[in-house]
Structure 1
Amino acid sequence: MATFTLTASKKGNIAEHEYQASLYNGLRPESMPKHVALMFVDGATHGRLKDIARICCQLGIKVLSLNYTLSSPNSDPPREKVDIARNITASDLEDLARVSFIGKRSNISESVLETIREIEERTQNNKSLHVIEAIDYTGRSDIIQACIAVAEKVEQGVMQPDDIDDQIFQNELQTNCSNFPNPDLMIQMGGRFSIHNFMLWQMAYTELYFLHEDDTTQFNDTSFIQALHEYQKRSRRFGGK
């Protein structure tokens, strides 16, 4: 059974911590998702991502995918998202979390690309958690580039059309950087009820969890653990009835 331990970074009253601890300790390790995808609009959630990443490490969740939009019209999405990834892996998670970035890099400035390469190289040997951060990524464009890659291999004689199956195609998707490329659980916050063109192929059998609150700043550790509880209540059928 998982054991909840308060850390110095936790804030709030004792009653809240006790409630969170009871939720945490009630989770079943054998039913834990291997890959969780978080989808949200920017807000105070960013400041809590490190705590959520830490919980993932404690619970044995192997992959945390992040897909979010920045609401400020003057923001530089690639730079801000890279800075957020840097913050997640700082301090006590520096030797635990590996970070990969997916999405088109052709429109990203060289200075940001240099930072991306530095983060990916510095964290590549970390094994506890794999953080996959989407930058200029869409599920449709991922499928298109995978189709092109497979078609090129057929044209080169590397494979025959009849050789193509789910696994071969999945190996060409950008999530091939992970041993667990398909999310088991997707958490959508901000009162939205769609998957917003994110990992369309990979989320064919993903369990979807939607938070009704419009204010994404209310999402915290407890919200994340509640989503895990809801996931463990479900019976996954993987397309079956």
Structure 2
Amino acid sequence: MTPTFDTLPRHLAVIMDGNGRWAKARGLSRSDGHKAGTEAAKTLVSECRTLGIEHVTLYTFSRENWARPKDEVAFLFDLLVRFMKREMPSLIEQGIRLRILGELSELPLTTRQAIKMAVDRSAKGNRMTLNLALNYSGRDEILRACRALAAKGLAPSAITEDAFAAELYTAGQPDPDLIIRTSGELRLSNFLLWQAAYSEFYFTDTYWPDFGTDELHKALAAFATRARRFGATGEDAQHDRAPAGDES
């Protein structure tokens, strides 16, 4: 039976970490770990959709990940393409819209084509938005937004937080209420640096392939106990999420 929570994040973001260590501990290849990681991602997305979480962002591939061995990078992109093709009917049936955060022009042609098809086919989904942070860098996203504002020739006084946020990949979506990181690491790793200003964090030693629904429920239960003040103090402090922008 699916538990109920007094408070759920409107936007949940996840740094999926530990596929390689999970595989090594079992005498398996890193490829096996990545395959298991995709199944964990499928489980999490489906459960978030059931619970009613509106936005989920998964840190899928960072710009720093290009430093990994070429065969591993090629396998990751091939796995992504196969996963999207296999899961697209389910995403559409569940009303899940796919969006991509990151610089796609640097990806292999077959990967870009598969992504475009998946984004187009899922565009009418209105029950949940699934963001894949792919070839993503938080610092690069901030620089990209600065360049876009400069190109528009805005006066300094016109460069507001709202104007800046409108140039980010996440434009039109609320900032993440909760960011989960698996495998015991305690850092953001260049992920959603602007958007994470008032996010709650949940760290677990569990490797990503083992992060199932029970682990998700533990994280959500912990989030439900947090008093979110957004910089305020005292009796008037907010104990829930800040107002968020409408979905574009």
TM-score range, shorter chain: 0.7 to 0.9
- After the TM superposition, which parts of structure 1 deviate over 6 Å for at least 4 consecutive aligned residues? none
How far apart, in 1, do the equivalents of 2:216 and 2:92 lie? 18
Matches for 1:165-204 after TM superposition, within 5 Å: 165-176=160-171, 178-180=172-174, 182-204=175-197
CA RMSD of aligned residues (A): 2.1
How far apart, in 1, do the equivalents of 2:43 and 2:134 lie? 22
Cα deviation, residue 217, structure 1: 2.4
Instruction: Determine whether 1:226 maps to 2:223.
Output: no
Cα deviation, residue 40, structure 1: 1.5
Would the aligned equivalents of 2:39 and 2:209 in 1 still touch at CA under 8 Å?
A: no
How far apart, in 1, do the equivalents of 2:89 and 2:15 lie? 22
Residue in structure 1 matched with residue 26 of structure 2 by the alignment: none
Residue in structure 1 matched with residue 157 of structure 2 by the alignment: 162
Residue in structure 2 matched with residue 100 of structure 1 by the alignment: 99
Cα deviation, residue 37, structure 1: 0.5
How far apart, in 1, do the equivalents of 2:191 and 2:200 lie? 14
Moved more, 81-90 or 53-62: 81-90
Describe the shift of the 1:130–1:193 C-alpha distance in structure 2 as closer, same or farther (beyond 3 A): same
Matches for 1:69-84 after TM superposition, within 5 Å: 74-75=71-72, 76=74, 77-84=76-83
Q: TM-score, normalised by structure 1?
A: 0.79
Describe the shift of the 1:83–1:72 C-alpha distance in structure 2 as closer, same or farther (beyond 3 A): farther
How far apart, in 2, do the equivalents of 1:86 and 1:133 lie? 15
Residue in structure 2 matched with residue 55 of structure 1 by the alignment: 47
Would the aligned equivalents of 2:11 and 2:54 in 1 still touch at CA under 8 Å?
A: yes
Cα deviation, residue 52, structure 1: 1.7
Cα deviation, residue 68, structure 1: 3.8
Instruction: Determine whether 1:236 maps to 2:228.
Output: yes
Cα deviation, residue 93, structure 1: 5.1
Letter in 1 for 2:161: D
Describe the shift of the 1:93–1:207 C-alpha distance in structure 2 as closer, same or farther (beyond 3 A): same
How far apart, in 2, do the equivalents of 1:112 and 1:92 lie? 18
SS at match of 1:199: coil
Q: Gapped runs of 5+ residues in structure 1?
A: 5-20
How far apart, in 1, do the equivalents of 2:91 and 2:13 lie? 22
Would the aligned equivalents of 1:66 and 1:133 in 2 still touch at CA under 8 Å?
A: yes
How far apart, in 1, do the equivalents of 2:84 and 2:219 lie? 22
How far apart, in 2, do the equivalents of 1:88 and 1:235 lie? 37
How far apart, in 1, do the equivalents of 2:126 and 2:71 lie? 36
- C-alpha distance after superposition, 1:100-148 (max 9, x if no partner): 1111123212221111110000001101111100111010000000000
Letter in 2 for 1:116: I
Residue in structure 2 matched with residue 12 of structure 1 by the alignment: none
- C-alpha distance after superposition, 1:128-180 (max 9, x if no partner): 111100111010000000000001112xxxx422111111100000111x432
Identity level (%): 28
Describe the shift of the 1:82–1:92 C-alpha distance in structure 2 as closer, same or farther (beyond 3 A): closer
How far apart, in 1, do the equivalents of 2:135 and 2:12 lie? 20
- C-alpha distance after superposition, 1:35-54 (max 9, x if no partner): 00011233323213222212
How far apart, in 2, do the equivalents of 1:60 and 1:167 lie? 26
Would the aligned equivalents of 1:103 and 1:135 in 2 still touch at CA under 8 Å?
A: yes
Describe the shift of the 1:150–1:135 C-alpha distance in structure 2 as closer, same or farther (beyond 3 A): same
Describe the shift of the 1:67–1:87 C-alpha distance in structure 2 as closer, same or farther (beyond 3 A): farther
Q: TM-score, normalised by structure 2?
A: 0.77
